[in-house]
Amino acid sequence: MMRARKGRRPGIVGLLAAMVMATAACSVIPTGPGDVAVDDAGSGDPLDPPYARVIAMPPSPDWTPKEVVAGFQAAMASTGDSGHAVARQYLTASFLKKWDPSGEVMVYRQSALDGGESEEDTKETRVTLKGTVTGTIGQDGLYRPGDDELNEPFTLVKESAGWRIAGGHEGLMLSEADVRRAYRLVDLYFLDSKRRGLVIDQVQLPVNPVSTRAKTTVERLLEGPSSSLAGAAQTAFPPDIKLIDVTTENSRVVVNLSKGVTGSDNIAAMSAQLAGTLSELAGGSSVEVRVNGEPYYGDSALVVDAQAQLKFDPWMTPRGMQLFYMQGGALRQLDKDNVGQPVAGAAGDPAKAEGRIGLLARPAVSGHTLRQAAVLSDDRRSVSVAPLTPDGQWREWVTGNDLVTPNWDRYGSLWTVDRPGPQSSIVLRHYYDEEKQQVRPYRVAASDLDTVEVTALKVARDGVHVAVVVRNAMGEDEVKIGTVIGEGAASRIANLRTVVNAGDKQTIKDIAWKDGKSLYVLTGKSELLEASLTAGPKPLVSYPRMESITALDDVLLAGVKDDDGNRQVVYRNVPGWEPWVKDENGSTGFVPDGPSSPVFPLG
Amino acid sequence: MATPKKRRRTPRQLARGVRRRARRAAGRLRRVFWRSLQLRVVTSTMVISVAVVAVLGVFLDQQITTSVLDARERAATSEAQADRNAVLGFLNQPDGETAKRSEPGETIQGDDSPLGQATTALANRAGSASRYSVIICNRKLPGACFGTTNIDERSITERMRTAVTKGEPGRNSPWYGELYYKGRDEPVRGLVIGTRLDTTGAPQIDSGYEIYHLVPLDKEEETLNAVRQMLVVVGVGLVLLLAAIAFLVTRQVVTPVRLTRQAAERLAAGRLDERLKVRGEDDLARLAASFNEMAANLALKIHQLEELSQVQRQFVSDVSHELRTPLTTVRMAADLLYEAREDFDPMAARSAELMQNQLERFESMLADLLEISRYDAGAATLDVDSVDVRDVVLRAVADSEALAERHSTRFDLRLPGEPCMAEMDSRRVERILRNLLFNAIEHGEGKDIVVSVGADRDAVAVAVRDHGVGLKPGEENMVFDRFWRADPSRARTIGGTGLGLAISREDAMLHGGWLQAWGAPGEGSQFRLSLPRVAGTALRGSPLPLVPPEVEMRRTWRGQMTPVLSPAAVDGGHDAGAVTGGGRGT
């Protein structure tokens, strides 16, 4: 009996243990890798990043005149308030008829809100908004920076429901903070005139709570370029195309259009425009284009690679670009170890200079596969071009009275400006006819530049934007950005707009395009600015005694002379500038007759 | 819905038709339900499991909903608490320091209001609107109302606002309601946690800031809907599974029972060799074994009884035959004695007469016994011929004329004018009628005897009515038993054998007809013979009533309707009215 019991107990214990283990194995939360991919809720929808917005509130009867104006300012900034219905409640019936929120938006920086003192029985008072007008936003979203004083009086009258605004600025006014909240600066990608390159149009897009950011962006893209690119840029989208929706599906952005475009060139252009425009939002995921919800080609989908814009236009982010610089009267090319070698042909051989190329000449290197160097003679009367091939010889392309440093554009044409007399300039564009082996010069129509002195002209790598430095009769330098329209004899420069006004007898020494959007400006006091159409000039850390600059995207190099007249090329790095070009011994010191005038192709 | 071509029916008729059909279907269903044990078990299993599953499902659903929503509410509350602290921090700092708080990489600059900066920070923390949205509002100050992403301020109802503004600062007021988003037409169910900012530690801050966290619960709703759907599917599956299990289990029990029932039915129908298969040793197998044993015993008993009955019948037949030879001799001797009775002294002469009478009776009794043993042996055959029933009746009446005169009884014949042809064995029918007439004369107490003949398309009938003492209740069947008599003390005056009515009934049944009796104490009695016109066809009714019309009418007048109904409805002779009466039997 005892034995039997002893024998049974381990069995019961074992059974219990098995049950406990079985229950443990059936615990609610399993161990091991999960098989469900949970999307990160915190990151949210990449097509619609989070933002804060002002909610418009109607005026309160017990508010003071100042508070009513402040409330009106906030109500104007409300994006969710369709038709500004709430903002209109702040206005008297008569002012309501004049007030038009659909026009140009004034952007200001407020410093004070004055006035508004009212006695018990006053029926009318005045509140003045003081500060600075920092810019305007056009109806097409184009932001124009400005710098004017703001002194905007608001007239208020007391109505039965409290103070109401009876007079003031008759359009929308937004503070800079409101603009940051209510607008997003987006890059829209359009096509150049040959439909082979991409042009970036930076516009301010109002945040629309009813739509996603991606949808508003693509809708704006379909509307076409803003006025700053009028006539210069094209789009692959036909005018009657409509956007149905932009969604994400399997980590792919799906753009649903009402119709497609035909022709492989057009499809490639459209893909590049979409990929470029959505690149900031899509964050590396590919884009699929659909027509009315169906795959683009009916049976197969059109999937646009996230980097399609870079493939379409290699000049968007040029790779493998080597730096050229002058040293010892020869054009040199920097290799991977930052050691310079003379280029092939006459340009790399001071013995063959034939007096065309000075020791400190400012060369320009073309962007062709067949590289060409152009250089202005020391007497500024001629520009010579030599191919960078072993048998390349100098050849005189341009002659003039007082030419500026030449500049190549991506189409292989050479730009320069001749100044036949004081306060007059002629912009010239030269093509080389391969078949006839001759240079064909054209005069570029630029009415804004005819009566001023142009001291520099640089065409951006997108082939559309052009920057010019203009010196007016008072000797003040201005940097303007415009666009090139047409080619050959029909070429003209239009849409010019001042981005930097040096003032104070300050000169502009050099300019260099960073990319299609912004421009580095080097002043006579060796100050460095970054300028663009859509923002005011931004000062950068500079280096003393810079003579010339060149840039390629984030790479910025400058030719510098030290106090002893030694020269070197410096490279802008994160903490500061560092000498860049090594000699044969690997030294990067400043040397007499050292490296100068660094230049990138098309730079 | 009758098509126009069809006969038009009023809606009421249609409704009645539908109702009738429904009632009929319900009746059929009820019958099937109550006849099938299996169906009943499956149905009750289903009903009970549906109830259990429903209760369980509702309970589970509520539990899951509560736990999911609780978790979300807790998470949202803690997020709201953290956000509140952040807002308080933004509002609390001196104006000059706002720029320092801006996170690296973000372009929050000093010119933005602290509340705007706070909202931007909260928006970045909240992420997209699918997680949660925030609305911060201070309605006392101008331009102090901010929201994140595309939340619509309509989502905050006036009641929520009142609850928040009237409530203590820092207290969370959770609400479940509809959330509206700009650009979305349909509201989303969601949770709103509203709080008034607690500014007790920072008196320079206005106390009117309301912070609302709006958490959309559409994902949770989706999950809960999926869970609910799954519960329903699983519940239905479970009920069906249970029903199937009940079906299978009951089938295991019901099938042997059904087989046993069928076997019992066949056994009852006389197939005594019917047996069940015995499989296994369970209760059902033992039932089958017992059934088989019972069937075997029954068969044995029946066989024994049949044998016994056979022996008895054979004995009666043999005795009757054996008695005839000595009876013939005795009869011849008695005839001689009877012829010579004139020469005997009166005593002897009287004895000879008596012997002669009793011998005649003995002979007829023997004949009847032989006749009835032929029926028992199944040897009786019909000699069918198409005859006019009126002729048969007249012949039988003529045969009974002498006896009737002796009882001073008159016949009242009620015969139809046209011939009543029917296929029958006229000899046997005449014998039946003769028996009925003798019987009526014997019990008629000298009153008139009515003989009526009736005919219709399928049948002919003859009714013999007397006005004697009648029959007591229950006797209308017993009169056809062998050697039955109502009053055993009464002597047989006419000298019937006691087998006449039994033979008559056998004769009628041989024709496929009926022989029925009715009688009531003091009312007399009536016997009715109904025969089909064509031999071998089944009788459906009789052309003549079993209960005499005058009796029926009298009862109606008295308002004492009895269960006795029109003769067309009665069948088989089990329906006769109550009878009182004296001796019966022929």
Q: What is the 3-state secondary structure (H, E, C) of B405-454?
A: HHCCCCEEEECCCCCCEEEECHHHHHHHHHHHHHHHHHHCCCCCEEEEEE
CB contact under 8 A, B127 and A68: no
Residues of B in Cβ contact (< 8 Å) with A109: 111
Indicate the average pLDDT of chain B: 83
The pLDDT of residue B547 is above 50? yes
- Classified as helix, coil or strand, B251 is helix
DSSP lists the bridge partners of residue A373 as A365, A386
Edge-to-edge strands of the sheet including A492-501?
A453-459, A465-471, A477-485, A492-501
Closest CA to A312 of A462, A458, A459: A462
Cβ-Cβ contacts under 8 Å for B459 (sequence gap 6 or more)? B422, B513, B530, B531, B532, B533, B539, B540, B541, B542, B543
CB contact under 8 A, A41 and B131: yes
- What amino acid occupies position A162? G
Identify the architecture of domain A324-599 in CATH. 6 Propeller (2.120)
Q: How far apart are CA A3 and CA A5, in angstroms?
A: 5
Q: How far apart are CA A370 and CA B562, in angstroms?
A: 132
DSSP lists the bridge partners of residue A191 as A198, A234
CB contact under 8 A, B127 and A44: yes
Please give the pLDDT value at position A30. 62
pLDDT band at B492 (very low <50, low <70, confident <90, very high): low
The pLDDT of residue B108 is above 60? no
Q: How far apart are CA A211 and CA A188, in angstroms?
A: 18
Structure tokens given for A109: 């920086």
DSSP lists the bridge partners of residue A552 as A555
Interface contact A542, partner B, CB < 8 A:
no
pLDDT band at B285 (very low <50, low <70, confident <90, very high): confident
- Classified as helix, coil or strand, A3 is helix
* CATH match for B13-271 among 3.40.50.2300, 3.40.50.300, 3.40.640.10, 3.30.450.20: 3.30.450.20
- Supply φ then ψ for residue A453, to 5 degrees: -100, 115
**Chain A residues 169-188 within an 8 A CB cutoff of chain B:** 175-177, 180-181
Residues of B in Cβ contact (< 8 Å) with A181: 112, 116, 120
Please give the pLDDT value at position B5. 52
DSSP lists the bridge partners of residue B407 as none
Burial of A441 (0-12, 13-18, 19+ CB in 10 A): middle
CB contact under 8 A, A180 and B107: yes
Please give the pLDDT value at position B568. 42
% of chain B with per-residue pLDDT over 70: 89
Distance (Å) from the alpha carbon of B209 to chain A's nearest alpha carbon: 14
Residues of B in Cβ contact (< 8 Å) with A77: 143
CB contact under 8 A, A177 and B113: yes
pLDDT digits (tens, 9 = 90+) for B304-321: 998 998 888 888 888 888
Residues of B in Cβ contact (< 8 Å) with A180: 107, 109, 112
B470: left (phi over 0), alpha (psi -120 to 50) or beta: left
- The CA-to-CA distance between both ends of chain A, in Å, stands at 103
Strands A567-572 and A555-561: antiparallel
- Supply φ then ψ for residue A500, to 5 degrees: -130, 130
The pLDDT of B498-512, averaged and rounded, is: 87
* Exposure string over B96-127, b if 16+ CB within 10 A, otherwise e: eebeeebeeeeebeebbbbbbbbbbbbbbbbb
How many CB atoms lie under 10 A from the CB of residue B338? 18
Distance (Å) from the alpha carbon of A286 to chain B's nearest alpha carbon: 21
- Supply φ then ψ for residue B194, to 5 degrees: -110, 145
Closest CA to B293 of B271, B308, B278: B278
CB contact under 8 A, B147 and A56: no
pLDDT digits (tens, 9 = 90+) for B8-49: 778 888 999 999 999 999 999 999 888 888 888 899 999 999
Question: Same CATH topology for B283-375 and B382-569?
Answer: no
Please give the pLDDT value at position B565. 46
Segments of chain A with pLDDT less than 70: 1-11, 20-30, 32-46, 118-120, 504-505
Residues of B in Cβ contact (< 8 Å) with A281: none
- Classified as helix, coil or strand, B15 is helix
The pLDDT of residue B493 is above 60? no
pLDDT digits (tens, 9 = 90+) for A177-195: 888 888 888 999 999 988 8
Q: How many CA atoms lie within 13 A of A164 on its CB side?
A: 18
CB contact under 8 A, A209 and B111: no
CB contact under 8 A, B116 and A181: yes
Interface contact A127, partner B, CB < 8 A:
no
Distance (Å) from the alpha carbon of A603 to chain B's nearest alpha carbon: 29
Alpha helices, DSSP H, located in B340-388: 346-376
- Classified as helix, coil or strand, A481 is strand
Q: What is the DSSP string of B62-86?
A: HHHHHHHHHHHHHHHHHHHHHHHHH
Question: Minimal Cα distance from B113: which residue of A?
Answer: A177
Residues of B in Cβ contact (< 8 Å) with A51: 120, 123, 148-149
The pLDDT of residue B583 is above 50? no
Task: Give percent helix, percent strand, percent coil of chain A, each to the nearest 5.
Answer: 20, 40, 40
Please give the pLDDT value at position B566. 43
CB contact under 8 A, A55 and B153: yes
Distance (Å) from the alpha carbon of A16 to chain B's nearest alpha carbon: 29
Decide: A293 and A244 in contact? Cβ < 8 Å.
yes
Task: Among B109, B116, B123, select the one facing A50 at the smallest CB separation.
Answer: B123
Residue that is written with structure tokens 């009882």 in the block: B407
Interface contact A150, partner B, CB < 8 A:
no
Give residue ranges of B with CB < 8 Å to any A CB: 107, 109, 111-113, 116, 119-120, 122-124, 126-131, 135, 137, 139-150, 152-153, 181-183
Please give the pLDDT value at position B574. 40
Decide: A416 and A409 in contact? Cβ < 8 Å.
no
Residue that is written with structure tokens 């997209």 in the block: B128
Task: Among B111, B113, B147, select the one facing A109 at the smallest CB separation.
Answer: B111
The pLDDT of residue B281 is above 80? yes
The pLDDT of residue B572 is above 50? no
Burial of B424 (0-12, 13-18, 19+ CB in 10 A): buried
CB contact under 8 A, A110 and B111: yes
Please give the pLDDT value at position B109. 44
Distance (Å) from the alpha carbon of A145 to chain B's nearest alpha carbon: 17
Domain boundaries, chain A: 65-182, 186-312, 324-599
CB contact under 8 A, A50 and B129: yes
Please give the pLDDT value at position B276. 84
- Classified as helix, coil or strand, A104 is coil
* pTM attached to this predicted model: 0.67
Residues of A in Cβ contact (< 8 Å) with B141: 67
Distance (Å) from the alpha carbon of B229 to chain A's nearest alpha carbon: 21
Please give the pLDDT value at position A422. 84
Residues in chain A: 603
Please give the pLDDT value at position B569. 40
Dihedral sign for Cα atoms in the order A581, A314, A224, A84: negative
The pLDDT of residue B542 is above 80? yes
Please give the pLDDT value at position A46. 67
Please give the pLDDT value at position A319. 78
Interface contact A51, partner B, CB < 8 A:
yes
Structure tokens given for B262: 């069928």
* CATH match for A65-182 among 3.10.450, 3.30.980, 3.40.1710, 3.40.630: 3.10.450
The pLDDT of residue B561 is above 90? no
Q: How far apart are CA A91 and CA A100, in angstroms?
A: 12
The pLDDT of B420-439, averaged and rounded, is: 90
Fold of B382-569: Heat Shock Protein 90 (3.30.565)
Residues of B in Cβ contact (< 8 Å) with A57: 137, 139, 142-143, 145
- Classified as helix, coil or strand, B581 is coil
Q: How far apart are CA A454 and CA A416, in angstroms?
A: 10
Distance (Å) from the alpha carbon of A409 to chain B's nearest alpha carbon: 35
Q: What is the DSSP string of B379-402?
A: ------EEEEHHHHHHHHHHHHHH
Closest CA to A533 of A514, A556, A547: A514
Question: Minimal Cα distance from A215: which residue of B?
Answer: B183
- Classified as helix, coil or strand, B255 is helix
Interface A-B, measured as beta-carbon pairs within 8 A, has a size of 113
Question: Minimal Cα distance from B139: which residue of A?
Answer: A57
The pLDDT of B378-398, averaged and rounded, is: 88
Interface contact A245, partner B, CB < 8 A:
no
Q: How far apart are CA B462 and CA B453, in angstroms?
A: 4
Please give the pLDDT value at position B235. 92
Task: Among B113, B127, B148, select the one facing A43 at the smallest CB separation.
Answer: B127
Helix (H) or strand (E) segment spanning residue A105: strand A105-115
Strands A243-249 and A252-257: antiparallel
CB contact under 8 A, B129 and A176: no
Q: How far apart are CA B137 and CA B143, in angstroms?
A: 9
Quote the strand ranges of B78-218, DSSP E. 133-137, 145-148, 173-179, 188-196, 210-216
CATH class of B283-375: mainly alpha
Residue that is written with structure tokens 């004139």 in the block: B342
CB contact under 8 A, A70 and B152: no
Strands A477-485 and A424-433: unpaired
CB contact under 8 A, B130 and A48: no
Domain boundaries, chain B: 13-271, 283-375, 382-569
pLDDT digits (tens, 9 = 90+) for B185-242: 888 888 899 888 887 877 778 888 889 988 888 888 898 999 999 999 999 999 999 9
Residues of B in Cβ contact (< 8 Å) with A61: none
Interface contact A283, partner B, CB < 8 A:
no
Distance (Å) from the alpha carbon of A43 to chain B's nearest alpha carbon: 6
Dihedral sign for Cα atoms in the order B317, B321, B322, B323: positive
Please give the pLDDT value at position A435. 83
Helix (H) or strand (E) segment spanning residue B235: helix B218-268
B67, B113, B115, B145: best mutation site toward chain A, by most A Cβ within 10 Å?
A: B145
- Classified as helix, coil or strand, A154 is strand
Question: Minimal Cα distance from A48: which residue of B?
Answer: B128
Q: How far apart are CA A441 and CA A444, in angstroms?
A: 10
CB contact under 8 A, A41 and B123: no
